[in-house]
Amino acid sequence: MTVFLTTQYLEEADVLAERVGIIDRGRIVAEDTPEALKAEIRRPSVEATPAERSERDAVARVLGEFGEEIRAQPGAVAVSLSGGAAGLADVVRALDRENVRVANLRLDKPSLNDVFLAKTGRSLEGAGEDEELAGAEEAQA
């Protein structure tokens, strides 16, 4: 049985759909599984902020074993994980093995919102508003 779901909530489509089609101005501009669409635009990345600024080069050396360096927050190092998100545990083990301490470690995986932007050149109206609203509601609680 095939069920079609139309939604502008791409997080919902990511969870519920086996296949996703992105329609822009009446044309299908992308169609595949959510994971394949996300992998098509970029790999997951990991960003590490050293515990001490002086350890930035050590963090860069360790992370360099796992992928190509990409733009990061000031003072941090980020790489595109050549082995995907599953490589995060190996990154943690390598940092520990080298006694490199980090203050923050963040995994960033592409979303269907990122796919929509890459395929259409624009964001969905309201993209990100749900996250801002949820943060405001938590602050009020």
Q: Please, what are the domains in the chain?
A: 1-42+111-124 (no CATH), 45-108 (3.30.70)
pLDDT at 130: 47
Give the ranges where 28-111 is alpha helix by DSSP (H). 34-41, 56-63, 88-97
Q: Which of 2, 88, 1 is CA-nearest to residue 48?
A: 88
Paired sense of beta strands 27-32 and 45-50, if any: unpaired
Q: Count CA within 13 A, CB hemisphere, residue 22.
A: 24
Quickly tell me which residue has 């003072």 as its tokens: 75
Asked whether the predicted pLDDT for residue 15 surpasses 80, the reply is: yes
Mean pLDDT of the chain: 85
Indicate the pTM of the whole model: 0.65
Asked whether the predicted pLDDT for residue 131 surpasses 60, the reply is: no
Read off the pLDDT of residues 97-128 as tens digits, 9 standing for 90 and up: 999 999 999 999 888 988 998 898 887 765 55
Asked whether the predicted pLDDT for residue 54 surpasses 90, the reply is: yes
